[in-house]
Amino acid sequence: MTLASLLDVTRRFGEAPALDHVTLDIEPGTLVGLLGPNGAGKSTLLSLVAGLRRPTSGTVTLFGGDPRDHRNRRALGVTPQESALPPTLRVGEVIDYVGAHFDQRMPTAELAAEFGLGDLLRKQTGALSGGQRRRLSVALAFVRRPRLVLLDEPTTGLDVDGRRALWDAVRRQHEAGATLVLTSHHLEEIEALAERVIVLASGRIIADDTLESVVGRVGVSQVRLRSAESDRIASLPGVTHAERNDDGSVTFSARDADELVVALVHAGVPFTDLAIRGATLEEAFLSLTDGPILERAS
């Protein structure tokens, strides 16, 4: 059975849609990465699945029912992007408090050990570091042994070691049977965890595929140069995007920068001021949209 689904879902805040005709199913056993730049609609999507918001149009289901009905949320674990913890309660008390709401729960010591909180059980949450607080917030999503877990940017504020430790814990929970959907800006994080990657941009799904396939598509380089024949370069094989810069140069996204330069030389296209670098994630997203377009007139 599909655990959660969105069918032609649009959610507006005022005029602009935060989600724009989105359709997707979350199947059991998957670890789904929701990737997209700021404002792409990732948190909005999670809040709809968690029943915190209603779609403007379309249908959202959770465990086959309406996510706004609390009975349908029993097997759901959520860590929002920001969460508050009662500062005077100890870590162990917070876990016990949340766990007390559920019949099937992970014992406090087990959960704490799993998320590297074992030595902090007696510490008040107000005395935790930002990273420790984040780890606790993520751990709380797992207390009830949920079937589906939504994690909104789970590793924000964690250092490199903390991030890796959390990735390991998330992986173990997934292996133990949890289906997970997590959002991230970081391709690296999605690469470390996800099996399926959904890329959102401006409220729309621009890619929904296996990790290998999406990483292959966003693994592009940026080739910047000046040429009187930019349109010809934009039509060369391997060029996925082209954008004119204010200084008159053009930046081309290409799967293989070396191949593009060789092709330029072979085609006898004149160019100067060549510079090559890896694409930022933002640029990689752009390269997922339709074909090369020279967007700005010089």
Ligand X SMILES: Nc1ncnc2c1ncn2[C@@H]1O[C@H](COP(=O)(O)OP(=O)(O)OP(=O)(O)O)[C@@H](O)[C@H]1O
List the one residue from 43, 79, 230, 249 that touches ligand X (CB under 6 A): 43
AA letter at 129: S
- Please give the radius of gyration of the chain, using alpha carbons only, rounded to the nearest integer: 22
Q: Does 36 bind ligand X (CB under 6 A)?
A: yes
Distance CA 283, CA 178 (A): 33
Q: At 297, is the secondary structure helix, strand, or coil?
A: coil
Closer residue to ligand X (CB): 13 or 97 = 13
Q: At 266, is the secondary structure helix, strand, or coil?
A: helix
User: In this structure, what DSSP letter does residue 26 have?
Assistant: E
Torsion on CA atoms 163, 143, 196, 183, rounded to nearest 10 = -60
Of residues 197-216, those binding ligand X (CB under 6 A): none
Q: Does 219 bind ligand X (CB under 6 A)?
A: no
Q: Does 106 bind ligand X (CB under 6 A)?
A: no
Distance CA 134, CA 256 (A): 39
Interface stretch with ligand X, choices 22-30, 32-40, 95-103, 137-145 (CB under 6 A): 32-40
Q: Which two tokens stand for residue 76?
A: 């759901």
Q: In DSSP terms, which residues pair with 150 in a beta bridge?
A: 78, 181
Please state the closest distance from residue 121 (CB atom) to ligand X, in A.
31
Q: Does 39 bind ligand X (CB under 6 A)?
A: yes
List the one residue from 26, 44, 138, 250 that touches ligand X (CB under 6 A): 44
Q: Does 78 bind ligand X (CB under 6 A)?
A: no
Please state the closest distance from residue 39 (CB atom) to ligand X, in A.
4
Residue pair 33/26 in contact (Cβ under 8 Å)? The answer is no
Q: Does 272 bind ligand X (CB under 6 A)?
A: no
> CA-CA distances (angstroms) from residue 283 to 33, 71, 147, 267?
19, 42, 35, 26
Query: What is the DSSP pairing of strand 31-35 with strand 17-26?
Result: unpaired
AA letter at 68: R
Q: Does 18 bind ligand X (CB under 6 A)?
A: yes
Q: Does 6 bind ligand X (CB under 6 A)?
A: no
List the one residue from 38, 228, 268, 290 that touches ligand X (CB under 6 A): 38
Q: Does 60 bind ligand X (CB under 6 A)?
A: no
Interface stretch with ligand X, choices 42-50, 111-119, 141-149, 236-244 (CB under 6 A): 42-50
> CA-CA distances (angstroms) from residue 244 to 77, 193, 252, 297?
45, 35, 9, 7
Please state the closest distance from residue 16 (CB atom) to ligand X, in A.
6
Q: Does 42 bind ligand X (CB under 6 A)?
A: yes
* Site residues (vs ligand X, CB under 6 A): 13, 18, 36, 38-44, 81, 185
